[in-house]
Structure 1
Amino acid sequence: MADQQAATTAEPAPATFRAVPSVALVAVAFLALCLSPIAFQGGAWFLLFLGPLAVAAWVLLGRTRVDTAGLHVRGITGTRSLPWEQVATLRLSGKRWVHAVPEQGAELELRGVRIRDLGRVGEASGGRISAPTPAEAEAAAEHARELEAARLRIAKLKEQRGAGGEAGPDDALPDDAAAETAVGSPESADDDESAPGRRPEGRA
């Protein structure tokens, strides 16, 4: 009995991902308010409210629930569940939602689940899939931002060197010190060129 209680306590909590945040209902209500003067004219005009109602239903129902049993995607037409035993892999789609690829059958679009949410998916699955934790995902994102910033700095240095006529944009930058030397004054470049046995930087 104690073992069963410990297993229940250790079971991770399910995670829910919404396709659209609930705050979007404010925009839907504003749209319905704008349509009211026309819709309340009576007759077929009242059907204009069907548009905001459909959008509101999609906002409320469109979500993905992840637990130890599997993946559950809910939409306007119903809910489709996929047990973990039938999941072959997860297909990442860049900025789009993640797709679950089953052993057989069509892929399941996990509405509201993006690449940054894989850590939460892995935790909610109880370790049934290998995914980075939220802290690991944030650390990886920070590392990617640092790499992008370094790439931009190198591209700016290359542009400065190309504008100064000392080297082409395709020349390699071995380190920051070499880059600072390359963008120095023209007098220093002439002194380096006139020195015996020394090859100016940026030239073949």
Structure 2
Amino acid sequence: MIESLQQFDVELFLKIHRGLANPFFDWLLPLMRNRYFWAPLYLFIIIFCVKEYKKKGWYIIGMLLFTVAIGDLLSSRVIKPLVARIRPCNDLSLADELIRRVPCGSGYSFPSAHATNHFAIALFLIFVFYDKWKPILPIALIWAFIISFSQIYVGVHYPIDTMAGAILGSSIGIATSFIYKKIQPQV
């Protein structure tokens, strides 16, 4: 069972990584997974929260930071060392089939911390702002999906790594949004 699931994961990885290869994706998707590319968005979120919500905005930012910290801790420091799955870009059996689009990194693959963190942020923001701004639902989910998909395309994660990260991150984002709603200041 595990072997057939892993074989499916490798086949799906290659269909995305090699099968969808094109110059536009080769240019765009490495950018989509780069934290510096998204820095203006993160800065906008901070400024928006503080400007629009004042003291309550600082609580939102604090909970966002807490959300990312929990996601990163669980995915990178707890689960990855326990599972110890080699990244596809470091898997010698795939060496001849890989297209090097970004540096591989030396860490483990399962789950994707990018997927965990971005789905955690997305779900937290959805639960906090959905009542006032409905478009956040598709925008945040598409944003997190593109970042996660990019991880597969560039060759640093298998599809199951990103799916597990998305599930873990979504769970964290939902949980921290409930915590936020319980402790938020009444301003």
- In the superposition, the TM-score normalised over structure 1's length comes to 0.26
- In the superposition, the TM-score normalised over structure 2's length comes to 0.27
Which of the two has greater helix per residue?
Answer: 2
Q: Which structure has the larger Rg?
A: 1
